[in-house]
Amino acid sequence: MMDRERLLSPRRITAVYLAFGVVWIASTDWLVVTLVDDASTVTTLQTLKGWVFVGLSSLLIFGLTRFRQRQIERSQAQLHTATEQLQVLTRVLRHNIRNDLNVIQGYIETVQEQVREVTYQRNLMIARRTAEEVSMLSEKIKVVNEVDLDPSTEAQIDLRSLVDDEVASIRRHHPDLTVSVECPDSALVLGDSTLGYAIREVLDNAIEHNTNPPGEREIEIKVVRERGWIDLVVADNGPSIPDDELAPLRAGEETDLLHTSGIGLWLVTWVSQCYGGEVDFDTDSGTGTTVTLRFRAASSMSTVGRVIDGDEHPTVATV
């Protein structure tokens, strides 16, 4: 990738043009005043040097902007090549990981059938669960690879339908979970079905890391409109996300000392930002985590319906 220090930025173009203008005006004015005494000649020369300045300025601006354009084109070509390489590596790694994990899981199942000792069974279960987690990580990498980083700005989707689909899914897999949803009949936002990945990851994270007994786990979901934005607020009653997990997201990068334990939260952040959205993690209360996904509204909202444990209780609200 091209060194940022070598990139001819708009600020540097302005500085070059300003320096040229100052030097030109100061030097040519001094020459005219020093070498010419006749007033009419001075006027003619001032007009002439003004036109020369316009011509030279045009050439200078053209040269600088053309040079910057070529720099950008080279950067884009390098980025395109890097993206293609990353996609190829991702596909190869995912394919190899998936195949190797299938082999590992097959051997674990075979050994589990033959071993009766409790300690060995427990260790094999841990190994099997770890292999399943790596397999899930591979699928999340696939989702990241599918995210369109240059989406259509005209795409719209009903956030209500995405929420309904994801809530129905977690209710099927976690029947003991208490879920309350407060959502409008329609909530059009800028985006597409990709936003469902972010919602799913937030809900899965709230369930997976909730240490309460299954019957005591709670998730509250609200969809509200605020000044051209539609907020999807997901709050759980589990432990708060540790600060060291959120630090890389807030810093916008991962380092050896600053990194998360997975890519789930990155996935939420990237998907939310695709259409100019935002994501906020609130852990200040110390009990549970409140995640707010902010999406740009595509239209107004009307009737609000409350869904509690599968039963809808409509109410009318003015937004």
Residue 284 confidence class, pLDDT cut points 50, 70, 90? confident
49 pLDDT higher than 80: yes
Q: If you average pLDDT over residues 88-95, what whole number do you get?
A: 70
Q: Quick one: pLDDT at residue 75?
A: 82
Q: Quick one: pLDDT at residue 222?
A: 93
The mean-pLDDT minimum among 42-51, 149-158, 301-310 falls in 301-310
CB 263 within 8 A of CB 133: no
Residue 144 confidence class, pLDDT cut points 50, 70, 90? low
Q: Which residue has the higher pLDDT, 91 or 311?
A: 91
Strand partners for 290: 235, 282
Residue 46 confidence class, pLDDT cut points 50, 70, 90? confident
| Residue spans per domain, the chain | 1-146, 156-315
27 pLDDT higher than 50: yes
153 pLDDT higher than 80: no
Q: Which residue has the higher pLDDT, 308 or 298?
A: 298
Q: How many whole angstroms separate alpha carbon 316 and alpha carbon 1?
A: 54
- Top-level CATH class of 156-315? alpha beta
146 pLDDT higher than 70: no
317 pLDDT higher than 50: no
Residue 286 confidence class, pLDDT cut points 50, 70, 90? low
13 pLDDT higher than 90: no
- Residues shown for the chain: 319
Counts of helices then strands in the chain (DSSP H, E): 7, 9
111-140 core/surface letters (b: 16 or more CB in 10 A; e: else): eeeeeeeeeeeeebeebbeebeeeeeebeb
